[in-house]
Amino acid sequence: MNMKVEEIIRGVPELYDEFVSVERLSGGLCNQTYKVHTKQSNYVLRVNSRQNEYLNLTRQSEVEVMKKANREGFTPAVVSSQYPEQFVVTEFIEGRMLEKEDLQDDHIKAMIMDRFKRIHRMEGQGRTLAPYDLIHGYLQGADQFQVKHPDGLNRILHRVEEITHKRSSDKQYNNKFCHNDSFLVNMIYTGQELQIIDWELSAIGDVFFDLTLIPFTNQFSEAEEREWLKLYFGYFEEETFHILQDMKFVAMVREVAWGMFYSGLSKGESHHDFDYYKFAEDCLQRIEQGIYQL
């Protein structure tokens, strides 16, 4: 246990009283996440990265979103948020992350769509972050860290601007509360319920970005993408399929910007051996090859 984590645990009564042990949880490339065992219960301690400083989102407003989602019944309860910019403690939910194979289960897919619809009905808590804002926030951060722009970046940003302009006319689905990080790894299945975690990017945004991230990362076929959209909307329209393709491109560009940003933010840190800049270059190369999936 490193000194920072030990200091946090000592300062949170729920963690320190009858403390047993702590273990690092895998899966996160941004924040550092730990499972803290006490004699009475288990908790999740998330030590925050600094990314929200560059995205105009406060951690306090994130905590308010988490509390609201918990009242709705689909995210773990917040246990301690005294210093939200530094860390947050939630209850630990026994379950497992969803995996690609789970998308063959109609019941699980129905639960995912139910959670999407309930999230999209939530209030914004003063948070706004469209996927285009996310890209530009990461790129501005990368520029502050003096990260080199990979070849071809300007070309793909020009297309993002075109998509942004097209989507701005959609007032129905471009102004709803979104999770903005709706990957399978942020969905915990208990065997009965589906819990959504990691709300740090949640804000008013574009519903289609939320709908895109699972097809984007799980190599959906065109038929699967059409069925996915029909599950959410209750019907299928060709226009929604074309919007999804645009959003897959935007999602890929987000990965480029994210990799550039974190290559600068994590420079000199020893707790990650992930090569963020190479990841950004690889994503850019895939875009140039016309591949809009990870």
Task: Read off the CATH number of the domain in which 27 is found.
Answer: 3.30.200.20
83 plus 145 within the same structural domain: no
| 242 lies in some domain | yes
- Mean pLDDT, the chain, rounded, equals 93
- Confidence band for 1, pLDDT divided at 50, 70 and 90: low
189 plus 265 within the same structural domain: yes
Question: For residue 248, which amino acid is it?
Answer: K
- Residue where one domain finishes, among candidates 94, 129, 149: 94
**3-class secondary structure, 140:** helix
124 plus 240 within the same structural domain: yes
- CB within 8 Å of 19: residues ≥ 6 apart: 9, 36, 37, 38
CATH code at 225? 3.90.1200.10
pTM: 0.93
| 11 lies in some domain | yes
| CA dihedral sign, ordered 29, 259, 119, 187 | negative
Per-residue model confidence (pLDDT) at position 51: 85
139 plus 255 within the same structural domain: yes
Question: Which of 191-195, 219-223, 262-266, 284-288 has the least mean pLDDT?
Answer: 262-266
Per-residue model confidence (pLDDT) at position 3: 65
| 256 lies in some domain | yes
68 plus 107 within the same structural domain: no
89 plus 162 within the same structural domain: no
Question: For residue 272, which amino acid is it?
Answer: H
42 plus 124 within the same structural domain: no
- Tokens linked to 26: 């895998």
Of 166, 141, 179, which is closest to residue 247 (Cα–Cα)? 166
112 plus 153 within the same structural domain: yes
115 plus 181 within the same structural domain: yes
Question: SS3 sequence, 232-283?
Answer: HHCCCCHHHHHHHHHHHHHHHHHHHHHHHHHHHHCCCCCCCCCCHHHHHHHH
- CB within 8 Å of 29: residues ≥ 6 apart: 262, 272, 274
| 246 lies in some domain | yes
Give the H or E element holding residue 154.
Answer: helix 153-167
- CA–CA dist 54, 257 (Å, integer): 12
Question: For residue 45, which amino acid is it?
Answer: L
User: Per residue in 125-173, pLDDT tens?
Assistant: 789 999 999 999 999 999 999 999 999 999 999 999 999 999 999 999 9
147 plus 284 within the same structural domain: yes
- Residue where one domain finishes, among candidates 65, 94, 123: 94
Per-residue model confidence (pLDDT) at position 50: 83
Average pLDDT (220-244) is: 97
| 157 lies in some domain | yes
| 294 lies in some domain | no
Of 277, 216, 259, 294, which is closest to residue 30 (Cα–Cα)? 259
User: Per residue in 268-283, pLDDT tens?
Assistant: 665 567 899 999 999 9
Range of the domain at 121: 97-288
Per-residue model confidence (pLDDT) at position 271: 54
Do 199 and 66 contact (CB within 8 A), yes or no?
yes
- Residue where one domain finishes, among candidates 53, 78, 94: 94
pLDDT over 70 percentage in the chain = 96
Using the structure block, give the residue that is written with the tokens 């019941």.
107
150 plus 271 within the same structural domain: yes
Do 263 and 150 contact (CB within 8 A), yes or no?
no
Average pLDDT (209-234) is: 97
- CB within 8 Å of 78: residues ≥ 6 apart: 63, 66, 67, 70, 88, 89, 90
| 293 lies in some domain | no
Q: How many domains does the chain have?
A: 2
| 10 lies in some domain | yes
Cite the beta strand spans of the chain per DSSP E. 19-24, 32-38, 42-47, 78-80, 87-91, 96-97, 176-178, 187-189, 194-196, 203-205
138 plus 284 within the same structural domain: yes
